Chain A
Amino acid sequence: MDLSLSPHAIAMTAKEFQEMAKDMVLGLARNPMLKKPIDGLTAPIWAWGQRNAIYPLHFGVACCALEMAAASACRWDAERLGMIYRSSPRQSDVLLVNGWISQKLRPSLRRLYEQMPEPKWVVAMGECAISGGPWYDAYNVIQGLDTFIPVDIYIPGCPPRPEAMIDGFMKLNRKITAEQKGTFLD
């Protein structure tokens, strides 16, 4: 970190000042001596933000998609817990897979997962996404989402009730709080 120019900050152009400030902050953040305490201080803040604004991807696959819709409607109102469905994978944090995965869907689903920005979580909802469910001997169904995507939360049921789905997301909240994935400027 070069602090020698700091006294001359008043004589800098705007662009020079921006660059200097940026270098200074980045240098601070990447300094191994400082990074750990800064992360220790800020990670709970990131986790708080992440868990209170879980944006799942609006991706209805099968039966459980109707329960997903019911959970966001008036009786359960999942929006009060920060679950707002986003239509683009670039804007969402959680991939909610609610149905069986066929051979034809698998590459698209993998691509959707990779399009989502970090930090991201995956929730497998319903028996089909967990293990193939009633389609255990079908020739075209992948036997479980976790065979090709890491899964954080499993919500069993065929289909699970909306309460179960909300409970699963509360479990995910606790997981986000415990994991503290967020780091400062990284």
Chain B
Amino acid sequence: MTETSTRMNEEQIAEAINSKFTQGITSIEIAPRRIFLTISKDIILPLCTKMKDELGFEHVSSVCGVDTKTAFQTVYHISSYQNKVVAEIVVENISYDQPEVESITPLWGGANWHERETYDMFGIRFLNHPKMERLLLADDFMFFPMRKDYVVGRRVP
């Protein structure tokens, strides 16, 4: 449990992000070892580039999609081994008509299959992804099962 003095804590990271991006960030919250960000979809790629290059976030834990019944969200969990911080980034308001968002696979190879799975389940297209195809389901599957308008079982509305 030795934490070196070079470790950036959550406030410093949040401050660094907040000063760089004046537009696009809806909210920033911090908790011990956690940062919660809500952003618009325009700044996802510059934000992630900064996080990777300057703030020491080496590892993408997960990428997932959420259907809020009015629009899509994509949620990223990106963690830093040297700072021991996990950042949760929620990209809001991806429209139903054009579900597209920039891919972060060129930065972190670990996001590759997560983004393919999100496309598989929600139909959200990630731009500049090397292989945007179905992953878990068969290629001829007719629908995107995780969307809320596809009803399975006895979910109470």
Q: Return chain B residues, CB-CB under 8 Å to A138.
A: 152
Q: Contact: B137 with A137, CB < 8 Å?
A: no
Contact B138 A139 (CB under 8 A): no
Instruction: Give the complex CA separation of A104 and B138 in angstroms.
Output: 6
* CB < 8 Å A-B pair total: 13
Are B152 and A103 in touch, CB under 8 angstroms?
Answer: no
B90 to chain A minimum Cβ distance, whole angstroms, is 27
Is A52 in the interface zone, CB < 8 Å from B? no
Query: How many of chain B's residues touch chain A, expressed as a range?
Result: under 10
Q: Is B145's CB within 8 Å of the partner chain A?
A: yes
Contact among B138, B150, B153, B154 for A103, CB-based, below 8 A = B138
Q: Is the interface of B mostly helix, strand, loop or mixed?
A: loop
Residues of B contacting A139 in the complex (Cβ-Cβ under 8 angstroms): 145, 150, 152
| A104 to B, closest residue via Cβ | B138
- If over half of A's interface residues share one DSSP class (helix, strand or loop), that class is named, otherwise mixed; here it is loop
Is the C-beta of A88 less than 8 angstroms from some C-beta in chain B? no
Q: Is the CB of B152 within 8 A of A140?
A: no
Across the interface, name the chain B residue whose C-beta is closest to A137.
B153
Complex contact A137–B152 (CB within 8 A): yes
* Cα distance A38–B145 in the bound complex, in angstroms: 58
Residue on B nearest A106 in the bound complex, by CB: B138
State the Cβ distance, B153 to closest chain A Cβ, in Å: 4
In the complex, what residues of A have CB within 8 A of residue B145's CB? 139-140
A103 to B134, CA, bound (A): 14
Give B84-116 interface residues, CB cut-off 8 Å to A.
Answer: none
Q: How far is the CB of B146 from chain A (nearest CB, A)?
A: 10
Residue pairs across A and B with Cβ atoms less than 8 A apart, 8 shown, are: A103-B137, A103-B138, A104-B137, A104-B138, A137-B152, A138-B152, A139-B152, A140-B137
